[in-house]
Amino acid sequence: MSLRGYDRLRMTLTVAGLLIAGYLTLLHYDTDVPLVCSGGAFVNCEQVLTSASAYLLGVPVAVWGLAWFAVAFVLARLSSRARAGGEPAWLRAAGFGWVLAGTANVLWLVYQELGVIGKICAWCTAIHVVVLALLVIQVMSDPLRVRPAHT
């Protein structure tokens, strides 16, 4: 895939993440917003989203997710504007650092869902897949972002 293709995919995924995180944030603050999700024995969004694990430092995880995707979107936008092979080192580092931080958080949340709550939330899982996909894109596209040394 070309660098432009990777960048488009990256932007699309961050927008998808923003939309899902935005929906989960709305759910938290507006009880009139319907929760479109199974309420079954294993997939149970309500139980996950209202558990103690759904808060980090007193702030809903959905809000943190919204903020994370907003920053990820800005980084993706800046990357897409950089010339092929000429992405600044700081931007590459920021992209990697951000997506690795997101991945670490995904691992923690997956552990909370499966190990502590015993339920999973379909919307949260969708977000986790998006974050992991962003990591794969960051890795796959990295060689195209740096200008190789020539003799």
Partner 1 sequence: MAGKPTESRPPGNNAPERPKRMNWLLVVVALAVVATISFALERQRTPAPAPAAVPLVAAAPTPVPDAVMADFTSIAPAAWETAGTTHATAPVFVGTADASTGKPVVLYIGSLYCPYCAAARWSVIAALSRFGTFSGLTYSASSSEDVYPSTPTFSFYGGTYTSQYLELQSVELEGAEPIGGRYPTLETPTPAQEALITKYDGPPYLDKASAGGIPFMLIGGRYMWSGAPFNPGLLAGQTQADLAATLPTGSGAAAQAILANANQITAAICAVTGHQPAAVCSSPAVAQAVKALPNKVP
Please tell me whether residue 37 binds partner 1 under the rule CB under 8 A: no
Distance CA 117, CA 68 (A): 23
Please tell me whether residue 87 binds partner 1 under the rule CB under 8 A: no
Stretch that binds partner 1, among 8-16, 42-50, 68-76, 87-95 (CB under 8 A): 42-50
In whole angstroms, how close is the CB of 51 to partner 1 at the nearest point? 6
Do 65 and 21 touch, CB atoms closer than 8 A? yes
Please tell me whether residue 92 binds partner 1 under the rule CB under 8 A: no
In the list 74, 93, 101, 114, the residue contacting partner 1 (rule: CB under 8 A) is: 114
In the list 21, 69, 113, 134, the residue contacting partner 1 (rule: CB under 8 A) is: 113
In whole angstroms, how close is the CB of 102 to partner 1 at the nearest point? 11
In the list 84, 93, 101, 122, the residue contacting partner 1 (rule: CB under 8 A) is: 84
Per DSSP, the residues of 77-127 read: HHHHHSPTTB--HHHHHHHHHHHHHHHHHHHHHHHIIIIII--B-HHHHHH
Please tell me whether residue 105 binds partner 1 under the rule CB under 8 A: no
Write out the two tokens for 137.
């894109």
- Long-range contacts, stretch 22-27, CB < 8 angstroms, 24+ apart: 22/66, 23/123, 24/49, 24/60, 24/62, 24/65, 24/123, 24/124, 24/127, 25/60, 25/62, 25/63, 25/65, 25/66, 27/62
- Residues near partner 1 (CB under 8 A) are 2-4, 28-29, 31, 46-47, 50-52, 54-55, 58, 60, 83-85, 103, 107, 110-111, 113-116, 118, 132, 135-136, 139-140, 142-144, 146-148, 150
